[in-house]
Structure 1
């Protein structure tokens, strides 16, 4: 048995009362931004231009140097 128009209307009213109109519109705006970002990513992937390839290398280098620094600090603490 499929829900009728009255059941759907009651559910929509309850959701609007629980979350408020501002929160629902904000959520829909975030969903729209996500869809736009997803489509933009698909277009960039089709073009073969990944802007993040160069950025990923520098991030991994920074993470590696950060791990080394943290490890050396821990070694100094254990020596003292």
Structure 2
């Protein structure tokens, strides 16, 4: 039981009559800007998480560990 094209057209005509063409255009534009902004913020958030995960992985590696041995010298003469 979906919406038929005729029903969709009737709803669209009613919306245009209520809001008017100009106001509907500005609402569509505002909605487009909001969606674009949401996508940008979501992308930046994903990039920040990826960078944080890379830092954690780098900090967890043992590449920077220097192994050595401590020897005690005997200074008795």
Q: TM-score, normalised by structure 1?
A: 0.51
Deviating beyond 4 angstroms after TM superposition, the runs of 4 or more aligned structure 1 residues are none
Q: Which has the higher helix share?
A: 1
Counterparts of 2:37 and 2:10 in 1: how far apart (Å)? 33
Q: CA RMSD in A?
A: 1.9
Counterparts of 1:12 and 1:29 in 2: how far apart (Å)? 17
User: Cα deviations across residues 35-54 of structure 1 (Å, max 9, x unaligned)?
Assistant: 111111011112218xxxxx
Q: How many residues were matched structurally?
A: 49
* Secondary structure class of the residue paired with 1:48: helix
Task: Determine which structure has more spread, i.e. the larger CA radius of gyration.
Answer: 2
Q: TM-score, normalised by structure 2?
A: 0.53
- Structure 1 residues 18 and 45, CA gap change in structure 2 (3 angstroms): same
Structure 1 stretches lacking a partner, 5+ long: 50-80
Structure 2 stretches lacking a partner, 5+ long: 50-77
Question: 1:3, CA displacement in angstroms?
Answer: 4.0
The correspondence of residues 45-64 of structure 1 with structure 2, limited to 5 A, is 45-48=45-48
